[in-house]
Structure 1
Amino acid sequence: MDRISFLPDDFLLHILSLLTTKDVLKTSLLSKRWRNLWKLVPKLDYIDFRKKNDADHGRFLLFVDRSLQLNTAPILESLSFKFHWRHCSDVDIGFWVRIAAKRGLRHFDYCPCTLHEPSRLPQSLFTCGTLVVLKLTNVSLADVKFPVSFPLLKVLHLHWLIYLDDETPQKLLSSCKILEELVVDRQRNDNVTTIPINVPSLLKLVYIGESNEEVFELNAPSLKCLEVKDVGYECMVEDMPEIVTANVEAIYSNTDDILGALTSVKRLSLCLPSESPYPTGKIFHQLVDLEYCTCDTEWDQLITLLNQTPKLRALKLNEKKHGMLIELALLSRGSTTCQLVFG
């Protein structure tokens, strides 16, 4: 017998949890020691990037059915579906999700082929009180019945979702009382004008907007990390006294509000339209590292910002031009080093 087979079950299960479910099942052929060990792996990852054909698709559905139902781990820590070409019906996905929800599912990651219609997931997923991480891509929430329940959810990723109306995302977020990380990647025609983010417990937010008519609304007083890439019309942002890092690439009619809420930031990356004013009377007391995009800006705006950053130590200027990223890194205030990087 090989040496690795002498390791305790806990060690072997940890090793197996790093593999896809298909590879995990292959280990059952190694020896009697491994024959049933795969059934105890608390992590099931179904990853398939091949093009679908009818015969292969039937085998795949049977494989997921059997491996999921034969799994005997006390708690199902993680269930992931990631398909590039393959399309599974809502009935099949719903059956698998309902089984997982009954098993104390903690981490669910659903990323189907985005070329197909948005999937509709079962109601049992949205009342799964054991979930800690929920990541959804190309899903419709139009049939979800509210209120939903996510008492333990800390991480929520929403990529390319379709909502029933403006109230749907608000109802979803209000059910996450201890949420710490939120990713919102919107698409056009998602049936929502604005997604107000009012989450007191939130520590990290990534927001990517697509519509030039929306308003970016944020009230997250505990936020430490913010990344915004938006082409919205306007922003309404409350003060963020705990903010440490921010990356803002946005086009708003007035950016005074969002910049005024970032005065406690230590590391800041900015890419703003030339007409954007800077908040008068606001001092960035903690800012030490600034990355500034010069693609569409007036230099007096940068000078104004520098005058408001008494602790600044590092400045990087970058510009995307003709497909080339030009970066000028300046170590300022106490150093004369200058580095020009062409990428």
Structure 2
Amino acid sequence: MAAEETMVELKPQPNKKQKTGGEREDERDLLSLLPDDVLLHIMHFMDTDTAVRTSFLSKRWNNLWKCLKTLCFRRRDFNNVVSYNQFIYHVVSQRDTSIRLNRLDLEARIIAQDLLNLVVPLLHSVPHLGIHLDHISSKRFYCLIPQIFASHSLTSLTLALANQCVRRVFKLPHSLELPALKTLNLTNVSFTARDECAEPFSSCLLLNSLVLVRCSLSNPAKVLSISNPNLSRFTMKRYSEVKYKIVLSTPNLTHFAIKSSIFFSEVSSTCDLALLEEANIDITWSDSHAIVHGLLKMLSYAKILALSEYILTVILDVSYFCFVLFSPLVCILKSIFLI
């Protein structure tokens, strides 16, 4: 058979219609085809400034940011305070109020009173709240203390004041009535006492993690009682020469850390801390070795100890006494580290 007889005649293909630029753009923008809840989940990983800027992408994105459940306002993302406050006002006033806010993290830098009034309604029902105040905004926020510390929905709270001197003004209530609270971080605040003892955390029955940084006591308090049946983690950082005792009533404590660079005062416990797994003691000085001995005895059930050079020096100076003192620890301690 001739070669030409074996060739298969192919049917001519119709000319494909050339796609317009808009059609090609639609094919490339597959992200915008995703459902709103998926896009909002993606936006959750953006900072709020970037999430709001997505409104410039297309009409599809124009109002999505208004449904964000997390708002995080950072002063460092803006050139000046005016533009920062304007951005907060724009976001808070334009967001969809039918969507419950899950987290609010606000750096209040010279925040105006009218803007503060706009933010106040968000504080009533948000579960996760972080407020970072400067010395001017703290005075305006002080009136909100009763609202913040009487919330039944708050599960985590960070309240930090930038200036240590402000703590003389920023006093917390005798008792923090936060029944749902699980995580609490406080910086540069003052605890109010009844008689000589401040006991602010006993009503926070679900509290699991507590961090106190540069916190003080109002007069005439001499004792800070950390009394809580469920507290598992407690961290305290002190940089003040003001002396006050710390008494732990935390039978379920598993992690304990304390840092003191100026003066370290007495820490004791009303229970044996039998569940303690790890303790980090970073102390640079104490006027009494007996206070250090008492602290180490309190931590005798710890499986892991991280100690500062000063603490190790105290131990070595009285090695025989510590050997007797730590006899229960010999069978329990798994690791010891030098900080």
Give the TM-score normalised by the residue count of structure 2. Answer: 0.73
Structure 1 residues 196 and 94, CA gap change in structure 2 (3 angstroms): farther
Please show how residues 65-84 of structure 1 align to structure 2 within 5 Å. 65-72=89-96, 74-82=99-107
* Structure 2 Cα separation of the partners of residues 172 and 13 of structure 1: 38
Moved more, 185-194 or 195-204: 185-194
Partner of 2:246: 216
Partner of 2:211: 183
Structure 1 residues 195 and 146, CA gap change in structure 2 (3 angstroms): closer
Structure 1, unmatched stretches of 5+, are: 275-292, 319-343
Structure 1 residues 153 and 309, CA gap change in structure 2 (3 angstroms): same
Deviations 1:249-276 (A, max 9, x none): 34354234332332322111123756xx
Q: Does 1:267 align with 2:304?
A: yes
Structure 2, unmatched stretches of 5+, are: 1-25
Structure 1 residues 317 and 41, CA gap change in structure 2 (3 angstroms): closer
Deviations 1:141-182 (A, max 9, x none): 757666653111101111011345567994631331211111
Deviations 1:316-339 (A, max 9, x none): 446xxxxxxxxxxxxxxxxxxxxx
DSSP 3-state at the match of 2:65:
helix
Please show how residues 28-107 of structure 1 align to structure 2 within 5 Å. 28-49=55-76, 56-72=80-96, 74-82=99-107, 86-89=109-112, 91-92=113-114, 94-102=116-124, 104-107=125-128
One-letter amino acid of the counterpart of residue 215, structure 1: K
- Give the superposed CA RMSD: 3.4
More helix by share: 2
Structure 1 residues 169 and 23, CA gap change in structure 2 (3 angstroms): farther
Q: Decide whether the 8 Å contact of 2:197 with 2:223 is kept in 1.
A: no
Displacement of 1:110 in angstroms is: 1.0
Partner of 1:134: 157
Partner of 1:13: 40
Give the TM-score normalised by the residue count of structure 1. Answer: 0.72
Q: Decide whether the 8 Å contact of 1:180 with 1:203 is kept in 2.
A: yes
Deviations 1:208-230 (A, max 9, x none): 22335211211100111100123
Rg larger in structure: 2
Give identity over the alignment, percent.
23
Q: Decide whether the 8 Å contact of 1:82 with 1:112 is kept in 2.
A: yes
Structure 1 residues 170 and 161, CA gap change in structure 2 (3 angstroms): same
Aligned length: 293
One-letter amino acid of the counterpart of residue 198, structure 1: S
* Structure 1 Cα separation of the partners of residues 67 and 137 of structure 2: 33
Please show how residues 137-216 of structure 1 align to structure 2 within 5 Å. 137-138=160-161, 142=170, 149-165=177-193, 170=198, 172-187=200-215, 193-209=222-238, 210-211=240-241, 213-216=243-246
Partner of 2:281: 248
Q: Decide whether the 8 Å contact of 2:56 with 2:62 is kept in 1.
A: yes
Partner of 1:326: none
